[in-house]
Amino acid sequence: MAKEYHPQSLRRTMIKSTVGTVRRTTYDLPDTKNPNHVYGYEIQRDPENAGQVISKWVQAVPSPAAKSGRSFIETNRQAIMNGYLSAGEARKFANEHPDIVVKPAAKCKGGFVPTNDMTYGIKSKVSEDIWGLVQARHTSFSNDNADYPDLSTMKTKGKLPQPRETQCSLGKDVRNHPKVAERELFKMSKFKAVGATLCTQPNAISARRREEEEERRRYAGEDDYDSLASARASSAVQIRGVAPAEQAKYLASEFSCVVGGKASSLPPSRLNDEFCDCDDGQDEPGTAACSHLLTSAFHCENGGFFPGKIHTSRIHDGICDCCDGSDEDVGVCPDTCAAAAEKFRKEAEQRLEVVKKGFEKRQAAIRGEVASFFEGEKEFETTTEKALAGLKLLKERVTVHKDREELKERKYRMELARQKQAEGHDPAGDQGQETSKQQFSHATEKEAVEALEFEGLDAIRVAEDDVPVNSAEDVKASEVLDSRRQAVKSLVELPDGTKIPLADYLRMNHNKQAPTKKLRAPRTVEQMRREDFLGPLFNGGAEGRKKIGLYALRTIGIISSPFRALVEIVLFSPRTLWDVLSTKEIAGSAIAKLPDFPSPSRSVWFRQLGGGSVYDGYSSVMWGARIIWDAPIYAYQYLFPKLDEVVKLPVAESLRKVLREIESDISTLEKERNEKRETAKMDYGPDRAYFALKDKCIEKRIEKYEYKFCPFDEVKQDRTKLGKWDGWAVDEANDSSSNGENGKAGYTKMRFAKGQRCWKGPERSVLVHLDCGEDNEILSLDEPSTCVYEMTVSTPLACTAQVLAKAQKDVAFWSREH
């Protein structure tokens, strides 16, 4: 029948076996004031453990009721209830009643005796027992004794009785050490070799063994003792808790280590003797004597399947840490290494199947979309460069023709503006002027150009000033258009309204193209006499004399333009002041109420004066004065006419549209070429396999958030950006296993940085771990620190040949016989 252990003895965190102060005499030892020197006796063990002692040994004694302090609030309340309303009356009432307190003391029943079954204070939760209170609330791991709870923070209100004697002291260890013989563990003569520290049961055993060795030394002599120690070391098969590779070091005649800060040599008898001699605990690999040191370790062979080391505090603790049970007494723990190996073998076989399927998908992706992209990269580059060269040639030729047509268009606009200016100063009347404005403002572009009919335009000069066109370059550009699969869609509109493709337009002979409008016939001698030089004055009749008069008046106006400039300067301030005063906010309403004095020139009596001759003379003088006064403005507008942008030639407008389409095609091709170049330059890992994840996203909902992982782009949590692509992370812990050498990326971790900044915190960042799996899936997400995330993603692209070889090696390892 297997030995049964108390549930508490199976816990890792232990309770110190001494509670309170154990006293056997009525006087204190001489050195009791020195806390570093402890005297004690061996106490017989019994089944009572430390937990039972804590839960049973204290008797509850009720504390006396505390006297409540005086309450001024209660005093004022009672004063108001008794009719003392003013402050003086309330103060008088308080002086007369000094015994009003917060709460009267509760009176206990006479002869009441408390029992241990009663609950005092605040009752703990049902699920929170004494072990949870001690381990969770009163355990401090700040000292070296990390395995023992610190009960210094426990405080109890009230008066407790003196601790009773207990037999649960040094002799009882919850880790179930073997029972030792009943004898005194300490003798006053042996305290010379014991440091100023509390000696627990294992060290007490080592003291007894040390005593036996000293007795052997006295009887056998020094030489015989050394020979006995060497014979013992040579006969030992192995040292418990030591790895096979280190057995030779422990089986030597002397064991070297650091004792008290000095290099020392220990005989084999000092190994595993339940006494911690070395500073690093190497002399006690098979006992818990050095369990207070972090470097003290016990080697578990585990049947050769998965050898490893555990801390010596886990030896003889009632828990089977090693699968072969070597950390406990013989027969306590069954050997479960074979069963564990079988479990690992099945898991390794399942893992191998997943890796094989992922590896096949990875190879298919490399042979498929990855190969098609990178193998066609050079062909795409050549085709794109050729297409760009053809489009740039087209752009150059279209630009030449556009500039040529825009020159014509500007000349048309200039002549049109001058003609409109001349009609605007026609003295024939306002009706003709309004008709002219309406004609040029509401007519369509084509009608506006045709309305000129080259009247007043030197069409021959316009045609001769055209920029010469290189016909050979045009033919070459047209061939480029014919060779392109997708030609320019926009058509070129000729002056007669015909729309033709760009290729046909380029093949036309633009150098010998005749004007599209029929020019005027050659002038006769009579026409030249009436129109040239002073012909209008002598041979042009009344109309010619008016034209000569206009020229003369405008010449006078230009000569006298400095006088007008002076008048404008003088009248600038009054006009500005009048305009300001005329505003509605200042004096506009008052000025509007002033009587309106009609102009004498508009009155009926003035028009009838002298039978109308006076009015006609006045009108002619005012017309001449206006011509002279406006002559500088007329000259400026003639030299710098305001062009009408609405008037457009169809050929120039269609060529501009064609040019915009060509520039758009060039921009699109250049963007595609640059994007492909940048894509090809990125690092996609071995065999460029991770290119298959480019421009793809993996989404999964974890708890209340929707996570979106886009390789080589970004990671998002709902609408919050956790990070942007920042390259591959270097696996510093295991570079060789992940193909990382000398700080190079291992292609198992993706780094995303510069995400959305946390509130009062850093920018978010994500480290994505890529694990071999059959499908692309987000497995988990964690936030180890504020705004720093770690995501695990499975993908078949991580199933490399190295991962497959490791999976096969694991299956072979767990399948072999041990």
**What distance in Å separates the CA atoms of residue 209 and residue 207, rounded to the nearest whole number?**
5
Task: Write out the H or E segment, with its range, that includes residue 381.
Answer: helix 377-424
Query: Mean pLDDT for the chain?
Result: 70
Q: In this structure, is residue 268 part of a structural domain?
A: yes
Rounded Cα distance between 687 and 660, Å, is 42
Which residues span the domain enclosing 277?
Answer: 188-335
Please tell me whether residues 670 and 702 are part of one structural domain.
no
Half-sphere exposure of 240 (CA within 13 A, CB side): 16
Q: Please compute the mean of the pLDDT values over residues 783-801 and round it to a whole number.
A: 92
Query: Distance (Å, rounded) from C-alpha 432 to C-alpha 542?
Result: 19
Please compute the mean of the pLDDT values over residues 533-559 and round it to a whole number: 64
| pLDDT of 806 | 92
In a domain, 216, yes or no: yes
Q: What CATH number has the domain bearing residue 755?
A: 2.70.130.10
The span from the CA of 346 to the CA of 339, in Å, is: 11
Q: Is residue 129 part of a domain?
A: no
At 597 the pLDDT is 58
Query: CB of 542 within 8 A of CB of 548?
Result: no
Contact between residue 7 and residue 51 where contact means Cβ atoms under 8 Å apart? no
Average pLDDT (142-159) is 53
**96's tokens:** 């007369």
Domain finish residue from 666, 681, 696:
681
Q: Say yes or no: 652 and 735 in one domain.
A: no
Query: CA-based Rg of the chain, rounded to a whole angstrom?
Result: 55
Helix (H) or strand (E) holding 358: helix 337-365
Average pLDDT over residues 137-151: 50
Please say if the pLDDT value at position 734 is more than 80: no
Residues 475 and 506 in one domain: yes
Residue 166 to residues 44, 178, 580, Cα–Cα distance (Å): 10, 21, 111
At 112, the amino acid letter reads F
- Are the C-beta atoms of residues 530 and 540 closer than 8 Å to each other? yes
Residue 350 lies in a domain: no
Query: Six-digit token pair at 108?
Result: 């206990």
506 with 437, same domain?
yes
Strands 262-266 and 255-259: antiparallel
**Per-residue model confidence as pLDDT tens digits over 308-327:** 889 888 888 888 888 888 88
Q: How far is CA 110 from CA 10, 66, 114, 251, 601, in A?
A: 47, 18, 12, 75, 132
Pairwise CA distance, residues 649 & 412, whole Å: 9
C-alpha count within 13 angstroms, C-beta hemisphere, residue 402: 15
Helix (H, G, I), strand (E, B) or coil at 650: helix
Candidate ranges 166-180, 484-498, 725-739; pick with highest mean pLDDT: 484-498
The answer to whether residue 255 sits within a structural domain is yes
Does 261 lie in the same domain as 384?
no
Phi, psi of 15, deg, nearest 5: -105, 135
Of 333-347, 471-485, 710-724, give the lowest mean pLDDT range: 471-485
pLDDT per residue over 36-77, tens digit each?
655 555 455 566 666 666 655 545 555 555 555 677 788 888
Q: Which residues pair with 794 in a beta bridge?
A: 771, 777
pLDDT category of residue 592 using cuts at 50, 70 and 90: low
pLDDT of residue 423: 64
Burial annotation 507-530 (CB, 10 A radius, 16+ → b, else e):
ebebeeeeeeeeeeeeeeeeeebb
**Percent helix, percent strand, percent coil in the chain, to nearest 5:** 45, 10, 45
pTM over the 0.75 mark? no
Can you tell me the mean pLDDT for 553-569?
Answer: 74
Confidence of residue 817 (pLDDT cuts 50, 70, 90): low
* More confident site: 689 or 577: 689
pLDDT digits (tens, 9 = 90+) for 423-459: 654 433 443 334 333 333 334 444 444 444 444 444 4
Contact 780, 792 (CB under 8 A): yes
Is residue 182 predicted with pLDDT exceeding 60? no
127-131, 454-458, 534-538, 653-657: lowest mean pLDDT where?
Answer: 454-458
Residues 715, 810, single domain; the answer is yes
Percent of the chain, pLDDT > 70? 53
Q: Above pLDDT 90, what percent of the chain?
A: 13
C-beta separation of 283 from 277 below 8 A: yes
- Answer whether residue 788 is part of any domain: yes
> DSSP characters for 247-258?
HHHHSSSSEEEE
Highest mean pLDDT among 148-157, 231-240, 591-600, 639-648: 639-648
pLDDT, tens digit, 9 for 90 and up, residues 653-685: 888 888 888 888 888 888 888 888 888 888 898
Q: What is the pLDDT of residue 707?
A: 94
Closest-CA residue to 314 (of 11, 50, 17): 11
Residue 752: the pLDDT is: 95
Of 316, 335, 354, which closes a domain? 335
Tokens 């009752």 correspond to 123
With CA atoms as reference, report the closest residue to 469 among 515, 517, 412, 508: 508
Same domain, 307 and 287: yes
Pair 308, 384 in one domain: no
* pLDDT at residue 145 tops 90: no
Do 653 and 689 fall into the same domain?
A: no
Q: What is the pLDDT of residue 661?
A: 87
**Which residues lie closer than 8 Å to 70 by C-beta, 6 or more apart?**
98, 99, 100, 101, 102
Same domain assignment for residues 795 and 665: no
Residues 422 and 487 in one domain: yes
Range 4-27 average pLDDT: 48
Same domain, 659 and 701: no
Residue range 365-372: mean pLDDT, rounded: 89
Residue 559 belongs to a domain: no
Please indicate, yes or no, if residue 23 is contained in any of the structural domains: no
Q: Cα(717)–Cα(721) distance, rounded to whole angstroms?
A: 6
Is residue 467 a contact partner of residue 526, using CB atoms and an 8 Å limit? no
Higher per-residue pLDDT: 276 or 197: 276
Q: How many domains does the chain have?
A: 3
Looking at residue 484, its pLDDT comes to 61
What is the DSSP secondary structure assignment for residue 70, as one 8-state letter?
Answer: B
